[in-house]
């Protein structure tokens, strides 16, 4: 999934499953999801869809994949087009993954023509990207979905106490064996000690940030989150953490928040009605979790 993973399990009493066997089952399922949805693997479903862009060939979808694309559609609509899984091609102009690579704005207008979830064709035949060079990228959904899948798998095997973390997004089953809630730290964008810890029990927490990958352009620092409507990096919150019933819903709320201006993000988060913490570009804190953790602007 492109990042570190942690799994803590208390094997169920009275069942034959061991911690090692359950961990292997989770790992196998995560690897299956990665083989299906990673854009980095040439034989994945996502890569097949992208490779056929502009060819006229639809790609058949199984029910799970149809559901993920339907979720992407709902998030695109609810975000006013800011959450757009076709926007990944913009990275060819803003090359955050290459050290010291220059920004190439000469490509931007051409790339913007390859962006737009409303262009994507979905029928009974499957899905089709009508413009050559278009791509989809499920990076904003797949990791959170995978964490929720792991939770469902473990519950199906009788597990009542577990925690899974995939690159900073966390989902839990029950509490710790001691009965205490799981404690999860919230990473500080500037590094160092976490800004605080939150308690989770049968809940999930997701964090989106715009600080891990940055570049310098014309004397300014830009984060890697890109606005699909303009093609430029967004200038929103530095980091947003949300607690929800599952990782997918919490992650969707955090990602959409980070794609908006700080003021719009606060309105969006308040409307979502979930506990949240926002860290602004000025390193100030806001949200219900900020008050609960005793955080104030440094």
Mean pLDDT check: name the lowest of 57-61, 113-117, 212-216, 223-227.
212-216
Could you read off the pLDDT of 46-75 as tens digits, one per residue?
999 999 999 999 999 999 999 999 999 999
> Which whole-number Å values give the CA distances from 27 to 40, 77, 83, 115, 164, in the listed order?
19, 33, 29, 33, 11
| Mean pLDDT estimate for the chain | 93
Integer Cα distance of 204 and 146 in angstroms:
12
Could you read off the pLDDT of 70-91 as tens digits, one per residue?
999 999 999 999 999 999 999 9
Backbone angles phi, psi at 7, to 5 degrees: -135, 125
Query: What's the pLDDT score for residue 1?
Result: 60
**Hey, what CATH topology would domain 56-129 get?**
T-fold (1.10.3980)
Could you read off the pLDDT of 186-210 as tens digits, one per residue?
988 877 788 899 999 999 999 998 8
Sign of the dihedral through C-alpha 71, 203, 213, 216:
positive
Query: What's the pLDDT score for residue 99?
Result: 64
Cα angle 166-169-180, degrees, rounded to a multiple of 5: 105
Determine how β-strand 285-286 pairs with β-strand 276-279.
antiparallel
* Token digits of residue 194: 């976490």
Burial class for 112, CB neighbours closer than 10 Å (0-12, 13-18, 19+) = middle
CB 257 within 8 A of CB 268: yes
Decide if pLDDT at 2 tops 70: no
Secondary structure class of 3 (helix, strand, coil): coil
Integer Cα distance of 176 and 118 in angstroms:
44
Burial class for 5, CB neighbours closer than 10 Å (0-12, 13-18, 19+) = middle
Q: In terms of pLDDT, which residue wins out, 284 or 267?
A: 267
The domain limits of the chain are 1-39+137-174, 56-129, 181-292
Backbone angles phi, psi at 6, to 5 degrees: -135, 135
Helix (H) or strand (E) holding 199: strand 196-200
Nearest to 265 by CA among 150, 255, 10, 166: 255
Could you read off the pLDDT of 251-277 as tens digits, one per residue?
999 999 999 999 999 999 999 999 999
CB 163 within 8 A of CB 170: yes
CB neighbours of residue 52 within 10 Å: 18
Burial class for 107, CB neighbours closer than 10 Å (0-12, 13-18, 19+) = middle
| CB proximity list for 196: less than 8 A, separation 6 or greater | 185, 186, 277, 289, 293, 294, 295
| pTM of the model as a whole | 0.92
> Which whole-number Å values give the CA distances from 293 to 61, 109, 277, in the listed order?
44, 44, 10
CATH number of 181-292: 3.10.520.10
Residues present in the chain in total: 298
Integer Cα distance of 77 and 233 in angstroms:
20
Helix (H) or strand (E) holding 207: strand 204-209
> First and final CA of the chain: distance in angstroms?
34
């Amino acid at each position: 999934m492109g990042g570190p993973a942690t799994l803590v399990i208390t094997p169920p009493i009275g069942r034959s499953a061991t911690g090692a066997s359950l961990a292997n089952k989770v790992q196998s399922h995560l690897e299956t999801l990665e083989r299906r949805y990673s854009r980095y693997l040439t034989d994945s479903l996502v890569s097949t869809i992208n490779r056929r862009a502009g060819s006229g060939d639809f790609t058949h979808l199984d029910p799970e994949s149809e559901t993920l694309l339907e979720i992407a559609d709902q998030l695109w609509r609810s975000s006013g087009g800011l959450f757009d899984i076709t926007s990944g091609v913009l990275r060819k102009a803003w090359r955050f993954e290459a050290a010291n690579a220059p920004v190439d704005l000469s490509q931007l207008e051409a790339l913007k023509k390859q962006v737009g979830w409303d262009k994507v064709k979905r029928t009974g035949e499957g899905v089709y990207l009508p413009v050559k060079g278009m791509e989809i990228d499920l990076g904003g959904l797949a990791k959170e979905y995978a964490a929720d899948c792991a939770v469902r798998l473990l519950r199906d095997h009788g597990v009542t106490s577990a925690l899974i973390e995939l690159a900073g997004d966390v989902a839990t089953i029950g509490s710790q064996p001691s009965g205490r809630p799981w404690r999860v730290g919230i990473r500080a964008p500037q590094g160092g000690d976490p800004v605080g810890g939150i308690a989770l029990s049968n809940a999930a927490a997701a964090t989106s940030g715009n600080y891990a990958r940055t570049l310098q352009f014309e004397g300014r620092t830009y984060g890697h989150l890109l606005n699909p409507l303009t093609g430029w990096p967004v200038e929103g919150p530095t980091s947003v953490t949300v607690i929800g019933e599952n990782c997918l819903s919490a992650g969707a709320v955090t990602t959409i928040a980070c794609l908006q201006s700080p003021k719009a993000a606060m309105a969006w988060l308040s409307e979502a009605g979930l506990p949240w913490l926002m860290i602004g570009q000025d390193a100030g804190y806001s949200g219900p979790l900020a008050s609960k953790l005793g955080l104030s602007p440094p």
